[in-house]
Amino acid sequence: MGRGRRALVVALCSVLLCLSGATPALADGMPAGSDLHVAQSLGERELTVVIRRAEPVPGPLRVELVTHAGSPPGTLTLRVAPTGAGAAGGELPPTGTVVSEERVALGDRPGPYASTLRVDRPGPWELAIDDGQRVARVPFLVAARIVTPWEKATYGGFVAAGALLLVSLVVAVRAKRGWAALVPAGGMVAALAVAVTGALLSAAMPPPAEPGRLLDPTAGNITDPYPGRRLSTVDYSRPPVNVTANAGDASAGRPAELALTVTDGATGRPADDLLVHDSALVHLIVIGPSGNLWHLHPIRTAPGDYRVRLTPPEPGVYAVAAELSRRGGGVQLVRTTFRVAERHEGSPPIEKRPEGTPHDTTVETGVRAAGTASTITARFGGAADLQPWLGMLGHLIVIGPLPDGPPVGEAAAGAPIWAHVHAMAPTTPGATGGMPDETVAAYGPGVRFTYTFPLPGRYRLWLQAERGYAVTTVPLTVDVPDTEGARR
């Protein structure tokens, strides 16, 4: 073997050692999915539905139902079915076919109850929760493992470079002419350049439009989010929605079903693209004539149709605010009202809703002038045993300015300010994955809210936190001075 050939073999072996000892840089891929928490007011039960990440697919899908204090025991039936365009394919059952069904027996004790179902493909799915009288339908996504185009270029380049390296070594050893090995060696260098370029440029590549957040999800765009026709310059915004509330012939003291119809503001068609926002599809705030507050989470029964059950204790006008987030449309707060008739003869006795501050709860109101940040601190008990609810440590509902005294519901319906303020839990060093779920009772007892009242006047406030799987609501009335009054 000549000197030139030996030198070429040594060089090629050096490159082989470098490739075998180095780890190629990998480009970021699409997320494989995450756990989904959705609050549901299903009949008399206030549930948190936890849909765990499904991976691999086909494979198991773990679903947990977290019950709250006061939820009656019973058995719920869970069913999962694929939805959306392109869900069917090959030998798989068609769209809408129930793939898996399980029963979950809920006991007297509040807390999590687990069940395991099965999914057979990535794409949009629907979880149906049946209590025997009504069915809540929760949409969710089963993600696919995605290899980005630049990952393909990187992996393909390194594989091609390795194969061409072996070819170059064989040619260099066996060929009579040493220059013959330069041909596969040149191809190896080109493949290596493609791989390195793909790895280096991957961080600068724009991500595709995310199915489920910007695009209506289908099995096709979840498994292949990188077709060339989807450009990053497309405007994915959508118009606001309209919400109407219908309580039927609701009368004081009798259970009523409140039906919410959500329609597209441009076409009037049912809007079925709501996103899970702060662990719910819809956050519904209802204010009664005497100032009672309900913080509920209507179930989705059909596209654009949401239902919730409540027992209004008194006749009059009830103010309603629905906080929701639409795909490509951002967060909205839509307000409306419904009316409750007088109590009918023969109706069961009206159950008084508890009001006032619990004996072990104190509130410090550091209310300042309008336009200046105020801090309101509530202390729930004396131990650090608060649980995250809806992904937050505490919730503060603000409505005003309002006149003094009832009817609060009718006045709240026309109030200029409605606000939903959150208190975040302190982060745990080294923890990942965001806020823990409701099974972690390790926060508080102090909960601080910061809010800037934009207008002077009298406001109604309701502070909420969860402890022992029960949500405590503390009503409060504060007077906010104007800036000039504060200076005097």
DSSP at 378: E
Tokens of residue 473, six digits = 């609501």
Identity of residue 87:
A
Strand partners, 264: 241
At what angle are helices 182-201 and 3-21 packed, to 10 degrees?
A: 20
Picking from 305, 340, 375, the residue at the C-terminal end of a domain is 340
* Residue-range definition of the domain harbouring residue 111: 51-142
pLDDT of 246-278, one tens digit each? 999 999 999 999 999 999 999 999 999 999 999
Beta carbons of 171 and 1 less than 8 angstroms apart: no
The conformational region for residue 400 under phi > 0 = left, psi -120 to 50 = alpha, else beta, is left
Tell me whether residue 346 is in a domain. no
Residue 16 has pLDDT above 50, yes or no: no
Picking from 124, 142, 160, the residue at the C-terminal end of a domain is 142
Tell me whether residue 372 is in a domain. yes
Residues 331 and 390 reside in one and the same domain? no
Residue 89 has pLDDT above 70, yes or no: no
Strand partners, 447: 378
Of 165-174, 289-298, 465-474, the least confident: 165-174
Which of 47-61, 202-216, 228-242, 428-442 ranks highest by mean pLDDT? 47-61
Picking from 142, 169, 188, the residue at the C-terminal end of a domain is 142
* Distance separating alpha carbons of residues 92 and 142, to the nearest angstrom: 15
Total domain count for the chain?
Answer: 4
Residues 176 and 266 reside in one and the same domain? no
Q: What is the CATH number of the domain that holds 287?
A: 2.60.40.10
Residues 160 and 138 reside in one and the same domain? no
Residues 126 and 204 reside in one and the same domain? no
Is residue 371 classed as helix, strand or coil in its secondary structure?
Answer: coil
Residues 65 and 126 reside in one and the same domain? yes
pLDDT of 95-115, one tens digit each? 889 999 999 999 999 999 999
Residue whose C-alpha is closest to residue 339's, from 414, 245, 418: 245
Q: What is the DSSP string of 265-321?
A: TTT-SB---EE--SS-SEEEEEE-TTS-EEEE-PEEEETTEEEEEE---S-EEEEEE
Of 195-204, 283-292, 298-307, 310-319, the least confident: 195-204
* Distance separating alpha carbons of residues 371 and 388, to the nearest angstrom: 30
Return the pLDDT at 354: 54
Return the pLDDT at 428: 59
User: When comparing pLDDT for 27 and 242, which is higher?
Assistant: 242
Is residue 17 classed as helix, strand or coil in its secondary structure?
Answer: helix
Is residue 345 classed as helix, strand or coil in its secondary structure?
Answer: coil
**Total-model pTM:** 0.83
User: When comparing pLDDT for 429 and 155, which is higher?
Assistant: 155
Tell me whether residue 296 is in a domain. yes
Residues 153 and 115 reside in one and the same domain? no
Q: What is the DSSP string of 212-264?
A: TTTB---HHHHH----TT--TT-------EEEEEE-TT-BTTS-EEEEEEEEE
Total Cβ atoms within 10 A of residue 248: 10
Report the percent of the chain where pLDDT is more than 90: 57
Of 63-67, 84-88, 113-117, 344-348, the least confident: 84-88
Rg (CA), the chain: 30
Beta carbons of 355 and 408 less than 8 angstroms apart: no
Residues 11 and 99 reside in one and the same domain? no
Residues 20 and 167 reside in one and the same domain? yes
Q: What is the CATH number of the domain that holds 68?
A: 2.60.40
User: When comparing pLDDT for 427 and 334, which is higher?
Assistant: 334
Q: Give the contacts of 24 (CB within 8 A, at least 6 positions apart).
A: 154, 155, 158, 195, 199
Residue 84 has pLDDT above 70, yes or no: yes
Residue 12 has pLDDT above 50, yes or no: no
pLDDT of 387-398, one tens digit each? 999 999 999 999
Residues 153 and 21 reside in one and the same domain? yes
Residues 25 and 160 reside in one and the same domain? yes
Residues 151 and 136 reside in one and the same domain? no
Residues 375 and 474 reside in one and the same domain? yes
Number of residues in the chain:
488
Return the pLDDT at 85: 65
Residue 30 has pLDDT above 70, yes or no: no
* Distance separating alpha carbons of residues 409 and 320, to the nearest angstrom: 9
Tokens of residue 355, six digits = 């009001």
DSSP E strand boundaries for 120-156? 123-130, 135-142
Return the pLDDT at 250: 93
